């Protein structure tokens, strides 16, 4: 049986105790207080100009670049794999830009999570609407997302899209159960269904089978669950989930990019759909994602979240430092 359908089983009492302890921690008094603080701060965060938040974040990113030596080395190592043609000075310059943009976008997400729908429509420009309106109404669709730009804003754009198809997304629940449930309820009001990677896979499959559009982030290292494939010529773990779902339900994959247009403004581009043949093996199907991953990562380098150790370079960097 496909492991995506396998139920979560607990085989020992110790695992059950650990699970119960995790649930208690998620609903601790500290988490409850953090949730109340969020409720208090929601409105002030939403009232601030998004461009201010972006610029403040960019400034903090410049400072982080100077202080976070290990993370700076990871970003530079990632960029050297993606841009083997750049010299050292150009890599340093691009690394600084990645820190600025990543921090600016993350800081902005604190604001864009709480602004009104009317303001949201003014700061997010939608492209590729024709690729959504032309979809088969009886089939689902995979929205292939990336950790780029202010990617959290994509969870709020459903009302801006020219489609009647329901919208959903895979997500990892927050460690604070109160805040996680609050965010999930808020997104549901805006037309987005969230499916937990741990407990919501069966519901996500049904959603897709019934013609929904399911967002899946597919750009980061997938760990042991991923398929080992070359990305920009260097082997790494790539999630097979978008490809497997597209094969199973014979549905298209639409890549989504979210790029920074100006401080506090973004362009969400729903790109041309592509299909993956049902005849391909899991490895072959996952390999079909690689050209799209490479193209988008290369074309939108400053907006990609390169602070993630995409190729698990920490050990290589340690070895290079030791021999150097």
**DSSP assignment of 45-59, as one string?**
HHHS-HHHHHHHHHH
Q: How many residues does the chain have?
A: 324
Q: How would you label 12-22 residue by residue, b for 16+ Cβ within 10 Å and e otherwise? A: eeeeeeeeeee
φ, ψ for residue 173, nearest 5 deg = -55, 145
What are the pLDDT digits (tens) for 232-280? 999 999 999 999 999 999 999 999 999 999 999 999 999 999 999 999 9
CA atoms of 263 and 38, how far apart (whole Å): 25
Separation between Cα atoms, residue 192 and residue 288, nearest integer Å: 28
pTM: 0.84
Question: How do strand 227-231 and strand 234-238 relate by DSSP bridges?
Answer: antiparallel
**pLDDT reported for residue 320:** 61
Q: How confident is the model at residue 38 (pLDDT cuts 50, 70, 90)?
A: confident
Please report where in the chains the tokens 């050209």 appear, as a residue.
Answer: 291
Whether 24 has a pLDDT exceeding 70, the answer reads no
Tokens linked to 29: 């008094």
Q: Is the pLDDT of residue 18 over 50?
A: no
What dihedral do alpha carbons 176, 182, 185, 190 form, nearest 10°? Answer: -120
User: Residue ranges per domain, the chain?
Assistant: 13-323
How far apart are the C-alpha atoms of 243 and 119, rounded to whole Å? 35
Tell me the CA distances in angstroms from 250 to 86, 195, 207, 242, 255, one per residue in order.
40, 20, 14, 12, 16
pLDDT of residue 191: 74
Q: For residues 5 and 175, which has the higher predicted lDDT (pLDDT)? A: 175
Q: What is the CA angle 216-155-161, rounded to 5?
A: 95
**Least-confidence region, from 18-32, 119-133, 165-179, 300-314:** 18-32
Tokens of 216: 């899946």
CA–CA distance, 171 with 187 (Å, rounded to integer)? 12
The answer on pLDDT for 323 being more than 70 is: no
Mean pLDDT in residue range 21-47: 75
Rounded (10°) CA dihedral 84, 90, 93, 99? 0
Cα angle, residue 105 at apex, residues 95 and 93 outer, rounded to 5°:
15
Per-residue tokens: 287: 């390999």
If 0-12 CB within 10 Å is exposed, 13-18 middle and 19+ buried, where does residue 39 land? exposed
């Amino acid at each position: 049986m496909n492991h995506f359908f396998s139920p979560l089983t607990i085989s020992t009492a110790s695992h059950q105790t650990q699970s119960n302890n995790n649930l208690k921690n998620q609903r601790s008094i500290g988490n409850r207080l953090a949730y109340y603080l969020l409720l208090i701060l929601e409105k002030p965060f939403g009232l601030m100009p998004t461009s201010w938040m972006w610029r403040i974040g960019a400034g903090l990113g410049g400072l982080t670049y100077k202080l976070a030596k290990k993370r700076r080395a990871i970003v530079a190592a990632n960029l050297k794999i993606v841009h083997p043609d750049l010299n050292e000075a150009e890599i340093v310059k691009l690394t600084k830009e990645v820190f600025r943009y990543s921090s600016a976008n993350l800081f902005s997400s604190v604001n864009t999570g709480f602004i009104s729908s009317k303001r949201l429509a003014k700061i997010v420009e939608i492209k590729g609407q024709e690729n959504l309106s032309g979809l088969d109404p009886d089939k689902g669709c995979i929205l292939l997302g990336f950790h780029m730009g202010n990617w959290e804003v994509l969870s709020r754009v459903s009302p801006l899209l020219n489609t009647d198809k329901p919208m959903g997304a895979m997500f990892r629940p927050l460690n604070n159960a109160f805040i996680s449930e609050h965010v999930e309820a808020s997104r549901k009001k805006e037309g987005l269904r969230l499916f937990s990677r741990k407990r919501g896979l069966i519901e996500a499959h049904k959603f897709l089978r019934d013609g929904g559009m399911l967002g899946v982030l597919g750009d980061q290292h997938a760990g042991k669950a991923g398929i080992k494939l070359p990305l920009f010529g260097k082997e790494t773990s790539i999630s097979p989930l978008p490809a497997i779902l597209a094969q199973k339900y014979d549905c298209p994959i639409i890549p989504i990019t979210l790029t920074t247009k100006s401080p506090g403004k973004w362009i969400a581009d729903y790109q041309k759909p592509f299909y993956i043949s049902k005849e391909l093996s899991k490895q072959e199907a996952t390999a079909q994602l690689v050209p799209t991953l490479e193209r988008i990562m290369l074309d939108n380098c400053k907006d990609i979240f390169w602070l993630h150790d995409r190729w698990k370079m920490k050990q290589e960097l340690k070895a290079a430092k030791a021999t150097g």
